[in-house]
Amino acid sequence: MVEKALTCRICKHSGNHRTVVAREMMFGLKEEFPYFFCPHCDCLQIAKIPQDMSKYYRADYYSFSSDPSKLYDHPLKKMVRRWRDRYAVFNKGLLGKCIDYFYPAEADLKSLSAIPLTKQSRILDAGCGTGFLLYFLKEAGFKNVRGIDPYIERDIEYENGLTIQKRGVGEVEGEWDLIMFHHSFEHVADPGETLHRVQKALAPGGWCLLRIPVVSSHAWKHYGANWVQLDAPRHFHLHSPKSIGLLAEKENLNLEKVVYDSSDLQFWGSEQYLKDIPLMSDRSYGVNPAGSIFSADDITAFQKKARRLNRESLGDQAAFYLRKI
């Protein structure tokens, strides 16, 4: 790392900051982007935000490339998913619990169980892509859910009534009980302004959920510029508990809880980058497990290590639960 005179966009600390150069490795473009680390709030951030980000959100970008309705193309599958997903959110229902044991629900669904929700709760998902999580919630019986994403091609209207709008947080009207960012808050250019708009849109006592990569992790310290969740240049800010705490305090949002929920991706993805293998490559474990460089034992070891790091608060992603005071 070298040091350069820069100003942190989170805490406004000015001075020399350590910098690191990261490559675009999801699609394997391998363009280089300088990032700098603020010693005051522990936030890693891109030095200069590209003017045009469209080339980095291709049609095959993971959150844009699939249709959630296809997971409900059979009456039995639809019924089973509904039972399981209701259990994931509310922690109620013996049948749903049994299904979840054998076919676990997605982590983003389970992250909602820490928030006191009802099926009438007004929920906004910001940066939701094609809206998988919201579709699950809609099918599970939630009545008032909506998604927004500035990078989708056009508004999406699903047959079950779910709407995903092409817009940002500042363009949304109404009052919400929960505004959530599932791995999208790191993509916003101005986190402070975004959280300010969130606070204004929340109902009294409302919640904001941020599930994001964290730079206070073993993976960042071990892999540096090859850390898979650095994800240059799409991730503008890689936060720490300290930087999120500073942003929340400024907006009168109380940081109620932090839950680490990282996975084996932090290891196999970063190891691939070390070997110059892009995330979307045919040699990637995420695309073609049988043709990857990892054995089944390797992946099992990665999963075990991820669980341990989560227990030690050293995983590379976490859920931050903020409540409007």
Label residue 145 by pLDDT band (50, 70, 90): very high
DSSP string computed for 12-50: --EEEEEEEEEE--SSS---EEEEEE-TTT--EEESS--
Mean pLDDT for the chain overall: 93
What does the angle CA 221 – CA 299 – CA 216 come to, to the nearest 5 degrees?
Answer: 20
pLDDT of residue 192 exceeding 90: yes
* Residue 65 pLDDT level (bands cut at 50, 70, 90): low
Q: What is the mean pLDDT of residues 202-217?
A: 97
Q: What is the mean pLDDT of residues 44-48?
A: 96
Continuous segment of H or E residues that includes residue 237: strand 237-238
- Collapsing DSSP states into helix, strand and coil, what is residue 116? coil
Residue 301 has pLDDT above 90, yes or no: yes
Residue 59 has pLDDT above 80, yes or no: no
Residue 312 pLDDT > 80: yes
Q: Which residues have CB under 8 Å from 144's CB, separation 6+? A: 120, 121, 122, 123
Q: Map tokens 């993805």 to a residue.
A: 269
Residue 294: pLDDT band with limits 50, 70, 90: very high
Contact in structure between 50 and 233 (CB atoms under 8 Å) = yes
Domain ranges of the chain: 1-49+213-314, 58-188
The predicted pLDDT at position 3 comes to 59
Angle ∠(54,272,220) on CA atoms, nearest 5: 80
